[in-house]
């Protein structure tokens, strides 16, 4: 028996486009003599569809897509994820289902049981959990269908659920498992995925065909990396990261013990590729081509520019250099050198005259009040506004260049450098930004050395340095990681040897700046805990603030 | 037996402050000779605590608050909501619990079973549902403890759950029910609350003491209106809306049939009071006093200014009048008249010179490109920036003045008029803004008649009117309501008699402008479906866009 995994990049709500993509994959699989083709979780509508699921019209379109796919199921069985109406009046209105289509009919439907409702996931908002379990018989084989999380309640220290769906299916003696996933990327995810798949394959002694999505859906990035597991706890093959792939596997071969074909890719390389894909899909799926950003000569905008150039092509990236009286000589030179290295268009607009006319107009109101953060913010906002002006006039999308460390402590100006349609490196800590820069320069200087080596500065007042108001990024990033990713409280962080006053100050900054993050662009998610939909904090509150 | 309902305004994460408030209420109830005092759902930590619940430290502080309350439970029993660690390793880590404290011990704990996970609610993200049910015995009475949603799965056309907790408790023959709620306001909520309470009281023939929160938590507003139900399906008394109240009820009196003491308040009056409370708490709880906004002479900023003046006092509200070459003569006059009516400080800053210097700097880049939305947006952004400059210099919080109709279709400039720390009327459709203005003028002109009567215009180009690019607000608001509040699809809306092209255009505008709403301030929620945390939409997608 031959099983095809179609690792595809869907668009949410683009039922026609998703269907067409699936039909092309079906045709390819048929040509390869495949018996079964598998698509991802909720592949008809894309994942995550979020509150579109609350529209009857949206569910109707998903059902119509299933009906279209049914027509293609004569010479091949199709396994595909789609939402299903719950016919029972009590409970949530929908199921998150795996459909088995064969011989022109819906042969079997298995609903998802374990509904992730944490971090970026909201599945219990929409779906009723499955309460019945079975297997589908096809060409003499019994197949257990599972959806994503259904195989994840195993081998965890702190299991989230009280049930394991495969435990319920085992009495039917399945020959193999198909798992339809939409399992978002973070730099640890492939390792965890392999762990979970190994645990399942070992415990149940059964082969698993694990199908993932690939591509970005606003902030959430799917890395692909679909996997075929043997029945002995070993990995047979892992499919590509970060690109579509359709591959057919011979069940007989999968059953033979042997080597594991896996990719090795380090954390920074993964982050790099994930962000490039995230940018590509944000633009491509929205129908945009061109990006603009402000290039300061600093490392954050430099790394963002390189990522944009690699994702969109040099002809589609344009930068503004907007020096003020506080900009250092090197800043402009470094920014120009980078733009030239990247082959991207740059324009220089001094912000001094605009700043002066603002100050003139505000002078009668400000009176004798001294220069402070107000004037710093005005400079940042003029730059944001110039970027937006070009965006409006020429159709460029402004890219936000803030890193995760800054976003965390609120070191950025709302409506200024926090502008932009997409936050490119908002889930990348400052030390990781340096690592990305180094990675980008591995085959020769792309980012000027000076940009990497000079002390970070916002250059909004004379001789300003980030270290004037923030601790060293090495320490800052560690404390932030413990608080944000690890969810440690102050006592636990201090117990790890960090200075009490510093820890409390940083946690206070994080909490008090929630209002800024609330108004910032969606952040491409690369870590296990990114700002945005996966981290939900009150703005008004008194905890650690 | 005497039962006290303490309808209080908590601050999320302010364990000490919440405790102090509860102890004061306990002292008052003791003086009144009460046997039991009841606080709201998760009263120790405030509601909704959101992802703070994922911090062990946060849960520890909630437990310490319970331990402190226990010390006060010698002459009075205390019923209070707080999170509880789930001792079982499988399942979610927490329960959402009602504690019964008496004689210096935790006498009973009943966990919440029905966990709202829709609209603004995320409870299944954190909590394991209760699986056991009982009653607590106290002074010869048996009491059924329930938490909020636990009594809501009754009398609904489309029940969300498959269980009714009170069905499980009835075999223990409780004498009355206590329900600890944190039930957010919308203009329909009191009616629905009365319906649900009536259904419960009728079905189980039992009195109910329903305790609600009051006060705003960022965007979510609690209206109070705690209720005592008799055991015959009739309402005994409803407590005040929109303010703290501590009131004691004699169970014997509650058992006697009689009149219902309820408040009548119409929709617009409720919205008015809710927003005033929302503003007051946003500022008060964050420790801010002063607000600033741009006054255009139009109705949205006028209504926002009145709400701010009523919430914060005239001495704490300041406005900027920022005419451009496109402002009508009346605009400035109307804005000044309003400021004078309200007794608030105003300053006038013409934006012409700033606009001109921007255009000079951009001229070499823009070349021959004609005037378009770019120049309109620059004007709006200059105004946003001036507001922010005063905010930074003097510590005013900028109020966003966009209404729900504009926010829906994206009729507003990101980083311009969409600036602000809080969206005051972002959940109020344009026609409701007019109704609010009329309500505000009921005892004499506050908002100049001209502001109410002139055709709405953004005044960003010569002779501009909203109706140039938008349908009449009467029609627009109806279509938006069907799509946003009622979640009707295009076919259903068209079937109600609206023009197909118009419907499709409006739905497309709503979906394509999700990116703007993503970056807008939190919106004070007054309707059953507000923009923000209760409406979660993808930015990148193709459905109706």
Selection from A439, A417, A446 nearest residue A334 by Cα: A446
Q: Is A256 on the interface with B (CB under 8 A)?
A: no
CB contact under 8 A, A377 and B393: no
Q: Is A495 on the interface with B (CB under 8 A)?
A: no
Residue A523's CB: how many other CB atoms inside 10 A?
28
CB contact under 8 A, A519 and B519: yes
Residues in chain B: 545
A416 vs B177: CA distance, rounded Å: 53
Choose the mutation target among A161, A348, A542 for the interface with B, i.e. most B CBs under 10 Å: A542
Query: For this structure, is B375 an active site residue?
Result: no
Predicted pLDDT at A328: 84
* pLDDT(B467) > 90: no
Secondary structure (H, E, C), A98-153: EEEEECCEEEEEEECCCCCCCCCCCHHHCECCCCCCCCEEECCEEEEEEEHHHHCC
CB contact under 8 A, B282 and A91: no
Q: Which of B21, B38, B45, B112 is catalytic?
A: B112
Is the Cβ–Cβ distance between B244 and B281 less than 8 Å?
Answer: no
> Domain B2-258 adopts which CATH fold?
Nitrilase/N-carbamoyl-D-aminoacid amidohydrolase (3.60.110)
A484 vs A409: CA distance, rounded Å: 12
B13 vs A61: CA distance, rounded Å: 44
Name the pLDDT band for B74 (thresholds 50, 70, 90): very high
Q: What string of pLDDT tens digits covers the 545 residues of chain A? A: 999 999 999 999 999 999 999 999 999 999 999 999 999 999 999 999 999 999 999 999 999 999 999 999 999 999 999 999 999 999 999 999 999 999 999 999 999 999 999 999 999 999 999 999 999 999 999 999 999 999 999 988 889 999 999 999 999 999 999 999 999 999 999 999 999 999 999 999 999 999 999 999 999 999 999 999 999 999 999 999 999 999 999 999 999 999 999 999 999 999 999 999 999 999 999 999 999 999 999 999 999 999 999 999 999 999 999 999 888 888 999 999 999 999 999 999 999 999 999 999 999 999 999 999 999 999 999 999 999 999 999 999 999 999 999 999 999 999 999 999 999 999 999 999 999 999 999 999 999 999 999 988 888 888 888 888 888 999 999 999 999 999 999 999 999 999 999 999 999 999 999 999 999 999 999 999 999 999 999 999 999 98
CB contact under 8 A, A57 and B492: yes
Q: What is the pLDDT of residues B189-238, one digit of tens each?
A: 999 999 999 999 999 999 999 999 999 999 999 999 999 999 999 999 99
Selection from B75, B184, B177, B80 nearest residue B123 by Cα: B184
Segments making up each domain of chain B, as ranges: 2-258, 270-465
Predicted pLDDT at B426: 98
B186 vs B432: CA distance, rounded Å: 14
Q: Which of A21, A112, A404, A516 is catalytic?
A: A112
Q: What is the pLDDT of residues B245-257, one digit of tens each?
A: 999 999 999 999 9
Q: Which of A160, A354, A388 lies nearest to residue B92, judging by beta carbons? A: A160
Question: Average pLDDT of chain B?
Answer: 97
Is the Cβ–Cβ distance between B317 and B305 less than 8 Å?
Answer: yes
Q: Which residue of B has its CA nearest to A384?
A: B415
Q: What is the pLDDT of residues B176-194, one digit of tens each?
A: 999 999 999 999 999 999 9
Encode B71-88: b = buried (16+ Cβ within 10 Å), e = exposed.
ebbeebbbbbbbbbeeee
Predicted pLDDT at A275: 98
CB contact under 8 A, B362 and A218: no
Predicted pLDDT at A470: 87
Predicted pLDDT at A325: 87
B4 vs B217: CA distance, rounded Å: 24
Mean pLDDT of all residues in B487-499: 97
DSSP-derived secondary structure letter, B96: E
**Chain CA centroid to CA B319, Å:** 25
Mean pLDDT of all residues in B63-67: 98
Is the Cβ–Cβ distance between B515 and B539 less than 8 Å?
Answer: yes
Q: What is the dihedral of CA B15, B16, B18, B19, to 10 degrees?
A: 110
Predicted pLDDT at B169: 98
Query: For this structure, is A112 an active site residue?
Result: yes
Burial category of A503 from C-beta neighbours within 10 Å (exposed 0-12, middle 13-18, buried 19 and up):
buried
Selection from A505, A513, A543 nearest residue A531 by Cα: A513
Secondary structure (H, E, C), B268-322: HHHHHHHHHHHHHHHHHHHCCCCEEEECCCCHHHHHHHHHHHHHHCHHHEEEEEC
CB contact under 8 A, B89 and A535: no
Predicted pLDDT at B38: 98
Query: For this structure, is A41 an active site residue?
Result: yes
Q: Which residue of B has its CA nearest to A397?
A: B515
CATH of the structural domain A276-463, one choice from 3.30.950.10, 2.60.40.10, 1.10.1200.10, 3.40.50.620? 3.40.50.620
CB pairs under 8 A between A and B: 268
Q: Is A89 on the interface with B (CB under 8 A)?
A: yes
Q: Which of B13, B90, B373 lies nearest to residue A541, judging by beta carbons? A: B13
Domain A2-265 carries which CATH code?
A: 3.60.110.10
Note which residues in 427-486 of chain B have CB less than 8 A from chain A.
Answer: none
Q: What is the dihedral of CA B483, B519, A59, B114, to 10 degrees?
A: -90
Phi and psi at residue B220, to the nearest 5°: -90, 130
Mapping DSSP to helix (H, G, I), strand (E, B) and coil, where does residue A225 land? coil
Strands A77-85 and A94-102: antiparallel
Note which residues in 496-515 of chain B have CB less than 8 A from chain A.
Answer: 515
Domain B270-465 carries which CATH code?
A: 3.40.50.620
Mapping DSSP to helix (H, G, I), strand (E, B) and coil, where does residue A245 land? strand
Is the Cβ–Cβ distance between A498 and A474 less than 8 Å?
Answer: no
A374 vs B264: CA distance, rounded Å: 47
Selection from B187, B183, B217 nearest residue B197 by Cα: B183
Q: Which of B11, B159, B543 lies nearest to residue A541, judging by beta carbons? A: B11
In percent, the amount of chain B with pLDDT more than 90 equals: 95
Is the Cβ–Cβ distance between B110 and B49 less than 8 Å?
Answer: no
* pLDDT(B115) > 90: yes
Mean pLDDT of all residues in B6-28: 98
Choose the mutation target among B16, B389, B494, B529 for the interface with A, i.e. most A CBs under 10 Å: B389
Partners of B381 on chain A (C-beta within 8 Å) are 385, 388, 415
Quickly list DSSP for A55-100. Answer: -HHHHHHHHHHHHHHHTT-SSSEEEEEEEEE--SSSS-SEEEEEEE
Choose the mutation target among B351, B542, B544 for the interface with A, i.e. most A CBs under 10 Å: B542
Predicted pLDDT at B464: 87
ipTM (interface pTM):
0.96
Predicted pLDDT at B431: 98
Encode A479-498: b = buried (16+ Cβ within 10 Å), e = exposed.
bbbbbbbebbbbebbbeeeb
Note which residues in 164-193 of chain A have CB less than 8 A from chain B.
Answer: none
Predicted TM-score of the model (pTM): 0.97
Q: Is A264 on the interface with B (CB under 8 A)?
A: no
A511 vs A514: CA distance, rounded Å: 6
Is the Cβ–Cβ distance between B436 and B268 less than 8 Å?
Answer: yes
Predicted pLDDT at B191: 96
Partners of B13 on chain A (C-beta within 8 Å) are 538, 541-545
């Amino acid at each position: 028996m031959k099983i095809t995994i179609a690792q595809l990049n869907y668009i949410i709500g683009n039922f026609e486009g998703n269907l067409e993509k699936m039909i092309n994959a079906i045709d390819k699989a048929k040509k390869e003599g495949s018996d079964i083709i598998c698509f991802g979780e909720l592949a008809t509508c894309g994942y995550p569809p979020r509150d579109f699921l609350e529209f009857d019209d949206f569910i109707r379109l998903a059902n119509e897509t299933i009906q279209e796919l049914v027509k293609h199921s004569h010479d091949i069985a199709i396994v595909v994820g789609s939402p299903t109406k719950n016919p029972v009046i009590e409970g949530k209105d929908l199921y998150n289902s795996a459909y088995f289509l064969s011989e022109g009919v819906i042969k079997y439907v298995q609903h998802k049981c374990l509904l992730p409702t944490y971090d970026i996931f909201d599945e219990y908002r929409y779906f009723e959990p499955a309460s019945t379990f079975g297997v589908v018989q096809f060409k003499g084989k019994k197949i257990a269908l599972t959806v994503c999380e259904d195989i994840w309640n195993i081998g965890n220290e702190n299991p989230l659920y009280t049930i394991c769906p495969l435990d319920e299916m085992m009495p039917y003696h399945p020959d193999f498992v198909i798992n339809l996933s939409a399992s978002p990327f973070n730099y640890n995810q492939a390792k965890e995925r392999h762990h979970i798949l190994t645990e399942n394959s070992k415990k149940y002694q059964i082969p698993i065909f694990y199908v993932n999505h690939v591509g970005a859906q606003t902030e959430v990035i799917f890395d692909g990396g679909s996997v075929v597991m043997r029945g002995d706890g070993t990995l047979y093959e892992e499919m590509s990261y970060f690109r579509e792939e359709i591959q057919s596997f011979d069940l007989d071969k999968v059953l033979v013990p042997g080597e594991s074909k896996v990719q090795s890719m380090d954390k920074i390389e993964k982050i790099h590729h994930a962000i490039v894909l995230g940018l590509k899909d944000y633009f491509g799926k929205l129908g945009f081509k061109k990006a603009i950003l402000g290039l300061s000569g600093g490392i954050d905008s430099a790394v963002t520019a390189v990522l944009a150039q690699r994702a969109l092509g040099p002809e589609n990236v344009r930068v503004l250099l907007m020096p003020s009286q506080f900009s250092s000589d090197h800043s402009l030179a470094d920014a120009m050198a980078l733009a030239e290295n990247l082959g991207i268009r740059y324009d220089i607009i001094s912000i001094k005259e605009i700043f002066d006319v603002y100050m003139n107009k505000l002078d009668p109101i400000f009176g004798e009040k001294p220069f402070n953060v107000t004037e710093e913010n005005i400079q940042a906002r003029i730059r944001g506004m110039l970027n937006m002006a070009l965006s409006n006039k020429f159709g460029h999308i402004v890219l936000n260049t803030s890193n995760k460390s800054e976003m965390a402590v609120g070191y950025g100006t709302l409506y200024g450098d926090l502008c932009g349609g997409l936050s490119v490196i908002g889930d990348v800590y400052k030390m990781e930004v340096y690592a990305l820069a180094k990675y980008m320069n591995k085959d020769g200087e792309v980012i000027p050395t000076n940009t990497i080596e000079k002390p970070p500065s916002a250059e909004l007042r004379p001789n300003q340095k980030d270290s004037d108001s923030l601790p060293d990024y090495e320490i800052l990033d560690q404390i932030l990681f413990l608080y944000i990713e690890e969810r440690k409280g102050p006592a636990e962080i201090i117990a790890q040897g960090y200075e009490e006053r510093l820890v409390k100050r940083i946690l206070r900054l994080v909490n008090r700046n929630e209002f800024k993050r609330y108004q910032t662009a969606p952040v491409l998610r690369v870590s296990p805990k990114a700002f945005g939909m996966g981290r939900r904090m009150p703005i008004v509150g008194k905890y650690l603030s």
